[in-house]
Amino acid sequence: MINDWIESDNAQVFVIESPELNQFNHKLKEEILRVGDCQFRRSNVKAQMTNWNMFEESDVFVEFSFWALKVFENLPFIGGSYHPLKFTISNLWGMIYREGDHAIGHCHMPYFYSFVHYVECTENAPPLLFTKSQYEVQCKTGSTVFFPSHLTHSVSELKKDDLRIAVSGNVSCIN
């Protein structure tokens, strides 16, 4: 696990390597492809994107949301058994970026934390960029990035033969 403090953003970002999800990533990819593009590039994500609340309509996404919440609740300084706060996954969606696709700088307020899980990425797929600090997290199949929802972030335009399939979500505090 990478646990980075981004000084200029005054924020903690976690990158979790999850090789145990590699077989599960195939199911996520199939489900994202099955659902198709439901947003028609009307959000900040200018790529194919599913519905916002896939955990309401897909068993695969339900299972992934349980995994993501468990990991989140055990991150240092955020959750864990010593912390009295309770959390829930508020939104969960899938995306497929291909040549020319990108994400405009945006944040996920009013949520507490957000995350992106890389289902499948080509080697040269652009990183997740936190715009204020210029801090980058490389797109790596099987890794999950947790970050405070107030951080503005973007994804540069994908070039020919690049692919970036991901699941993103938002975490809310329910106390």
- Distance between CA atoms of residues 166 and 102, nearest Å: 13
Tokens representing residue 12 in the block? 């903690």
- 16, β-bridge pairs: 144
| DSSP category for residue 13 | E
pTM score above 0.75: yes
pLDDT tens digits, residue range 5-45? Answer: 787 778 889 999 987 888 889 999 999 999 999 999 999 99
CATH homologous superfamily of 2-173:
q2cbj1_9rhob like domain (2.60.120.620)
| DSSP category for residue 125 | P
Nearest of 147, 159, 156, 10 to residue 78 by alpha carbon: 147
Question: Where in the chain are the domains?
Answer: 2-173
Q: Which H/E stretch holds residue 48?
A: strand 48-49
